[in-house]
Amino acid sequence: MMPRWYRAYEAHGRLKLKLDQLRGLIERQRMGDVVPVLRVERAPGNQYYLFLGIEHETIGEMPEWVRDVLDRANFLGRPIDKPFTLDEIRSMVGSEVVVHDYMRLLPFHRTDRPPIAAADGAAELDEGHPQAIDESDRCQTFVQLLSALGSGSIATLQRIWHELGGGPGRSLTRMLRLLGYLETDRTGRHWAMAPTVFVPIAHGPHAGAVLLCGRRDQRLVAALAAAFQVEHVMQPHGVGPAACIIHDATPAALVRTAAEQRVTARAMDDLGARLARALPDLGGWVERLEHIPGVHPGRFSVARYDGREFAPVAFSSGQSGLYDLRTRHSRGEPTAQDRAVEYTLLYHAPTGRWLRGDWHGMRYAAIDWAGIACPIQYDPATGWLRVDAQRRWPELYERALVLATGRLPTWRNDGWEYEGIDPQLIATLTPKLNLVREE
């Protein structure tokens, strides 16, 4: 069991507000495995002590990325420069608040939504740019390390990325899920590498070759390179590990090579097409979203997404759509931090339910409900597909595109462009997503 020590803060002000802010911080930064508990001074008045439980092999130490986050969290109060053990504070604190349990007691919590510009844009670096090459190599090493671990907490994943010199990793897990490397649990706190799979590529410039998906065992990658023609194709802008594409090989031969390296692998035809066929239509996808009970919009300032931005509205009409809910303030003007969006949720008027899902998916459903067209441009001869930036699909549906080729989309001219997409894949997804093809 990992040793635990406590970082103390001299705090003042409303305790519940502190807890809400701390809960939001830990959830957004995925620090629950490093900072799992909180203890509060018994019978706190306006001034009191908070004790954050830190799990680390060395008392008084914590991961640098966690320290950076906590040092910027001024709302916690003044930190005391001394590590405490439970025995030292036991007589002055109440029972511990387990962070995960505390979050489950809340009626709902914030969806981690990037700003619209950040959600729809990407760094436009040419694949030959040194920065893009460095980022691609970093992603490659990142996947290798995760493959060696097999599974773990999101905090561990973020720590590895940080130690590799990676920048803000808001979309890390989304990128790795799209490419079929890993899966995350429903809470978003844990990840596990997907099984190793060899997938024939059916369309596009690499048609006839085989794509390596899932866990990447280094012995297997080396054995493949020794026995076959292996091509590592950089992702657009370098924002992901290079696709491992094997030429002049059958999936069966590749599975045998994996077995020789004592790596469990299997071949799977048409992985993207299989996923597309298994997915429900948009209404079915909405039905499967997580229901968030106990939402009272009257407690919040409400803004509704209108197809381009969030605009303030009165919720009395209860119209279906995507909403930002912000805390109301009874006294004074809210600060910039107070004005930050706390919750982004999808409201389904026919059932009266508040729902939570991936940001792009919720936005897509809201646009569809509003009767706004979701156009695409597609060339069946080349497999080129373009999706408007503000109409990006729910993650699962986009994953079908990425798994078909092993390539992430390219950000260009306010849209996402995909290559090598089979016409049958588009035919399968068009009625499910109510797509409108522009000629």
CB contact at 8 A, 25 and 66: no
User: In this structure, is residue 240 part of a structural domain?
Assistant: yes
One domain for residues 219 and 332: no
Q: Specify the higher pLDDT residue, 331 or 292.
A: 292
User: In this structure, is residue 229 part of a structural domain?
Assistant: yes
CB contact at 8 A, 52 and 7: yes
State the Cα–Cα distance between residues 372 and 306, nearest whole angstrom: 10
Say what the pLDDT of residue 129 is.
52
DSSP bridge partners of 305 = 310
Q: Specify the higher pLDDT residue, 327 or 377.
A: 377
User: In this structure, is residue 15 part of a structural domain?
Assistant: yes
Q: What is the DSSP letter of 128?
A: T
One domain for residues 171 and 303: no
Q: List the beta strands (DSSP E) in 203-261.
A: 210-213, 229-233, 243-247
The β-bridge relationship of strands 265-267 and 196-200 is parallel
Say what the pLDDT of residue 360 is.
93
- Lowest-pLDDT choice from 25-39, 124-138, 424-438: 124-138
Number of domains the chain contains: 4
Which residue from 236, 194, 238, 199 is spatially nearest to 216, judged by alpha carbons?
Answer: 194
Cα→Cα distances 311→117, 139, 169, 308, 432, Å: 16, 37, 28, 9, 28
User: In this structure, is residue 119 part of a structural domain?
Assistant: no
One domain for residues 196 and 131: yes
- Tens of pLDDT, residue by residue over 60-74, are 988 888 888 898 888
Q: Letter for the amino acid at 361?
A: G
- Residue found by looking up tokens 């969006």 in the block: 341
User: In this structure, is residue 101 part of a structural domain?
Assistant: yes
Last residue of a domain, one of 51, 74, 105: 105
Q: Letter for the amino acid at 389?
A: A
One domain for residues 83 and 169: no
One domain for residues 247 and 147: yes
State the Cα–Cα distance between residues 13 and 78, nearest whole angstrom: 13
User: Cα 364 vs. chain centroid, distance in angstroms?
Assistant: 17
One domain for residues 128 and 101: no
Say what the pLDDT of residue 231 is.
95
One domain for residues 314 and 430: no
Last residue of a domain, one of 238, 269, 300: 269
Q: What six digits make up the tokens of 73? A: 């969290």
User: In this structure, is residue 254 part of a structural domain?
Assistant: yes
One domain for residues 89 and 138: no
- Lowest-pLDDT choice from 194-203, 325-334, 410-419: 325-334
Say what the pLDDT of residue 283 is.
95
State the Cα–Cα distance between residues 311 and 322, nearest whole angstrom: 11
Say what the pLDDT of residue 95 is.
59
- Tens of pLDDT, residue by residue over 158-196, are 889 988 888 765 578 999 999 999 998 877 788 999 999
State the Cα–Cα distance between residues 243 and 406, nearest whole angstrom: 6
Cα radius of gyration rounded to whole Å, the chain: 24
One domain for residues 163 and 34: no
Which residue from 243, 240, 151 is spatially nearest to 204, judged by alpha carbons?
Answer: 243
Say what the pLDDT of residue 308 is.
85
CB atoms inside a 10 Å sphere around CB 135: 22
Which residue from 370, 371, 368, 351 is spatially nearest to 360, judged by alpha carbons?
Answer: 368
One domain for residues 32 and 75: yes
User: In this structure, is residue 160 part of a structural domain?
Assistant: yes
Q: Letter for the amino acid at 114?
A: P
- When pLDDT is averaged across residues 98-116 and rounded to a whole number, the result is 39
Coil, strand or helix at 61: coil
User: Per-residue b/e over 263-285, b at no fewer than 16 CB within 10 Å?
Assistant: bebebbebbbbebbeebeebeeb
- When pLDDT is averaged across residues 267-290 and rounded to a whole number, the result is 93
The β-bridge relationship of strands 229-233 and 243-247 is antiparallel
Residues 6+ away with beta carbon under 8 Å from 84: 5, 6, 7, 8, 51
- When pLDDT is averaged across residues 298-324 and rounded to a whole number, the result is 87
- Residue found by looking up tokens 């004592």 in the block: 262
Task: Give the torsion through C-alpha atoms of 105, 110, 111, 116, to 10 deg.
Answer: 180
> Which runs of consecutive H residues, i.e. helices, occur in 164-290?
172-178, 218-227, 251-260, 271-278, 282-287
Q: List the beta strands (DSSP E) in 13-117.
A: 37-40, 47-55, 78-84, 97-98
One domain for residues 337 and 389: no
User: Per-residue b/e over 328-362, b at no fewer than 16 CB within 10 Å?
Assistant: eeeeeeeeeeeeebbbbbbbbeeeebbbbbbbbbb
Q: Letter for the amino acid at 231?
A: E
Q: Does residue 321 come out as left (phi exceeding 0), alpha (psi in the -120 to 50 range) or beta?
A: left
pTM over the 0.75 mark:
no
What's the domain range around 394? 276-281+371-438
Give the model's confidence band at 117: pLDDT under 50 very low, under 70 low, under 90 confident, else very high: very low
One domain for residues 133 and 101: no
User: In this structure, is residue 96 part of a structural domain?
Assistant: yes
- When pLDDT is averaged across residues 17-35 and rounded to a whole number, the result is 76
